[in-house]
Amino acid sequence: MTGAARASRSLRGRLFRRPLVALSGAAGRLARCGKHLDTAAIQTPFWLNPIWAGMHQLRREYWAHLGVSVGDGVRFSNHVKVVGPTRLVVDARAKILNKVLLDARGGIHIGADTQIGFESVVFTSSHVFESLEVAIRDQGMEHRPVHIGSDVWLGARVIVMAGVTIGDHAIVGAASVVTRDVPPGAIVAGNPAVLIRQREHYAQTEGARDP
């Protein structure tokens, strides 16, 4: 590493690591002020959005300080927003790309090696709307967890609705809306997302089961 590169790394460390050290205390203050981290909506701050080498490590520390369960090698891109960070679990080497919104109030588990494409949205909350006598906004919210398995690829601008489970090795096409469970190894797309085909290993396994 050249002297200039070392100086640049040192400068970035001084600029960005000091605020990160204070985040654990800030999280406590948020909770004491009534802004509980299991429902708070928090966006990546502007000073963590530059696309510099190593910034993903700082962003990982940032979300860990705010209560996200973060596995080794997880990469958060810029402009990510999380609602309820203490109810979000992201396993090792998963990638959350830029401008993703994760509503984790009902609980979200993202498996290892999974990729969440840019501008995707995962919901775990929805309005209650059964009564016609009460305005929808006054009927409260219901929460259902979302589980996204390991080695899953969600394309750009995918929407995942509350209560959905997406199996390991599944692929969801760009701009799809996932309203029901996706089997392991399935390739789905559309609004609502429907099965296109099974990936080869799973297709062979299903074929072997046929009489």
Would you name the residues annotated as active-site residues?
127
Q: Is 170 exposed, middle or buried (0-12, 13-18, 19+ CB in 10 A)?
A: buried
Structure tokens at 4: 């200039």
Instruction: Using alpha carbons, select from 47, 51, 80 the residue that is nearest to residue 63.
Output: 80
Please give the Cα distance from 86 to 165 (Å, whole number): 20
Distance of CA 167 to the CA centre of its chain: 16
Give the type of residue at 95.
K
Handedness of CA 35, 36, 42, 47 (dihedral sign): positive
